[in-house]
Structure 1
Amino acid sequence: MAKTVITFGTFDVFHIGHLRILERARALGDRLVVGVSSDHLNFKKKQKYPVFSEHDRRSIVSALACVDEVFSEESLEWKGKYISTYNADILVMGDDWAGRFDEFKSLCEVIYLPRTENISTTEILAAVRATSA
């Protein structure tokens, strides 16, 4: 039986860490569905908007060979709804979120994958800002 994997993220300033976690998530199943955080959700979470628009971030993620479907994540509280809507068998998140999504184990398997070492969007943006200052 085909397995659907779902994951979520902002995917702003797309980098090799984003690609690696998506490729590893896809390797766990037959289909990868990705929820890209909406601009509104990002502002609500971080009090700032992403560098790239929601439309551009969705376009980048949907162009990847390992990704089968992309949707806008509008609310953190709807993760269970998204898991059910896309009939996900596995929820994948980075291990920096370890334990925070265990509540969904009644809906699907929950797997936390290690993040790619020595790379983060926050660090990339800080380096760019320092260079341009």
Structure 2
Amino acid sequence: MKKYKVGYTQGVYDMFHIGHLNLINHAKEYCEYLIVGVNADKLVEEYKHKTPVINEVERAKIVYNIKAVDECVIAHTLDKEMALELYHFDAIFIGDDWRGNPRWEQTKVDLAKRGVDLIFLPHTEGLSSTALRLVESRKVKE
């Protein structure tokens, strides 16, 4: 039996890469049922000020078809307490590159008060969708 009944993780998952897969697979090792939130296009535009390369429906289809994913939802908010109300998870998983970030440290405290653990999982070093975009833009310029 795994430590958690329902786990949740959320992200953009644009230009899906091995770092995304590693995070999702590690999260599933901790929970019986894993829900993955894929950030809506409009949400990404609001906080990142850029449009995802792959639209939300296609990103959700990619994520849903990963063996470790039990349920995939399109997330319309970054508010994890609101996500908790919707999905009733007992653990939330994020990359350890966010450890020490004031927003996430406060989220950890807030969720703990509601009986939810925030678990920092190993980040795949040197890899991000932003880095992939930079490499691709350099290729286009050449």
TM-score if structure 2 supplies the norm length? 0.88
TM-fit CA distance, 1:63: 0.5
- What's the counterpart of residue 112 of structure 2? 105
Matches within 5 A, 1:61-100: 61-77=63-79, 79-99=80-100, 100=104
What is the deviation of 1:84? Answer: 3.0
Q: Give the SS at the match of 2:126.
A: coil
Q: After the TM superposition, which segments of 4 or more aligned residues of structure 1 sit over 3 Å from their partners? A: none
Instruction: Give the Cα separation in 2 of the matches to 1:94 and 1:104.
Output: 17
Identical-residue share of aligned pairs (%): 34
Please give the alpha-carbon distance, in whole angstroms, between the structure 2 residues aligned to 1:5 and 1:25. Answer: 7
- SS of 2:15's equivalent in the other structure is coil
Provide the C-alpha distance between the structure 1 equivalents of 2:5 and 2:85, rounded to a whole number of angstroms: 13
Shift of 1:44: 0.3
User: How does the TM-score come out when normalised to structure 1?
Assistant: 0.93
- Please give the root-mean-square deviation of Cα atoms over the aligned residues, in Å: 1.4
Per-residue CA distance 1:12-46 (angstroms, 9 max, x = gap): 00000000000000100111001110000000001
Aligned length: 132
